[in-house]
Amino acid sequence: MHRRDKFACGVALVALASMSLSAVALSKDKNDSDDSAAKDAWPPNIYLDLRTTYATTPANTLAIGLGNASLSARFPALATLSNLGSLPAGPLPALPTLSSPATQSVGVDVPLTLDLSDRVSVYGGFSATTSRTDMTDWSNFVVSAWMVGFQADVYQQNGGSIPTITLQSTVTKSVPDAPLATVSLNTILEFNYALNEDETRGLLAGVQHTNIDVETPFVTVSPNIIGYVGGYYQWDNNWKVSGRVGVQSFGGAQLLNRTPFQPFTQPVVRLDLDRMDDNDNRLFGVTAEIAWVPKPSYQLTIRTPLYAVRN
C-alpha cells in the first residue's frame, strides 16, 4: 500500500470512528434520563480552540513530547534533508555530515471543535507557524499543516470504581509545499480516576503513540511512545491545575543508512493551568512542558477558545 493510500485510510478511519461515536452519543441523549439529557444539551458546543505555542528544539533533534497533537507534524529540522528528496538513479553519492541547528518556533493551531456531548468531540482545522535558527531569521508566518480528529470518553466513571477512559486520535498533514511533507497519526489513551464525587481531584495515567510518515522513500521516522502518570485538582472558583510526568521513547530517524536523529529514552514533564466554567468548558488555559530529547526542549502553549455556541 502506498503512503498516500495509508494516509487516506487513516483519515477514513478517524472520520468513521468520529461518526460512530457521535451516533452513540446522540442515541444516549435520546434514551437516557432527564438529568442526562440536561447534561448532554443540544445544540453542541461550537468553538475555535485557539492554541498559540512557543517552542524550542535543540540542535540535531526532533521534538514531539506531550504537546498539542498537531505539533508532531512540525519538524523544521527535516528541512536539512529536503535536497535529498530526488536522489539520482544508480549508485548513491557520498552523503555529507548531516546536522540541524537549534530552532525556535511560534505556531497557532485553529481547530473548529464541536462538543457533541459531554463524551464526544470532533475537530478539524489548520496550523500556521514561523521559525528561526541561529543561522536564519524568522521565516514567514504561513499555514503549515491541517488536522482532523476526535476525542471520546469510551467509559465514564460516574462514581464507580473503574476510571474514565478517554481516547483521542488526530491525523495531521503538512501543506504540500513543505520542504519534506509529513503525515502524522497521534493517539492518546488516558485513564482518569476521580477521587471525589464532584470529580474535582483525581489521578491520571496514559500512553501516547505518534507515528510519522515522511513522503519520501529516503527518510524513515520511527514511532514515538510516551507513558505517563499524573493528577489534577480543581478549586471552587473553577481554576484547575494538572500535572503529568512520563518517559518518552523515540526510535530515531533514518536517512538511507545514516541516523541523523538518534534514538533516545528520556523524561517528559507537563503542567496545565485552566480556567473552567460551571459546566467544565475551558475558558482559558496555559500549558508548560519540558521534554528531554535528549537535551531539554521547552514548549509554552496558551489556549483561548472562541465560542460560537456554549452550553
Quick check: 65 and 289 in contact, CB under 8 A? yes
Q: How far is the C-alpha of 65 from the C-alpha of 300, rounded, in Å?
A: 12
For the chain, the structural domain boundaries read 3-84+100-309
pLDDT score recorded for residue 272: 95
Does residue 156 register a pLDDT over 70? yes
pLDDT score recorded for residue 179: 62
pLDDT band at 301 (very low <50, low <70, confident <90, very high): very high
Least confident range from 24-28, 34-38, 130-134, 136-140: namely 24-28
Which is it for the CA torsion 96, 97, 101, 105, positive or negative?
A: positive
154: cell is 469510551
Q: Give 105 or 231, the one with higher predicted confidence.
A: 231
Quick check: 80 and 62 in contact, CB under 8 A? no
Least confident range from 95-104, 154-163, 257-266: namely 95-104
pLDDT score recorded for residue 266: 93
Q: What 8-state DSSP symbol labels residue 99?
A: -
Does residue 71 register a pLDDT over 70? no
pTM (2 d.p.): 0.80
Q: What 8-state DSSP symbol labels residue 31?
A: H
pLDDT score recorded for residue 190: 96
210: cell is 505518534
Quick check: 182 and 78 in contact, CB under 8 A? yes
CATH 2.40.160.40 fits 3-84+100-309, yes or no: yes
pLDDT score recorded for residue 235: 97
Q: Percent of the chain having pLDDT more than 90? A: 47
pLDDT score recorded for residue 16: 41
Least confident range from 1-5, 117-121, 160-164, 202-206: namely 1-5
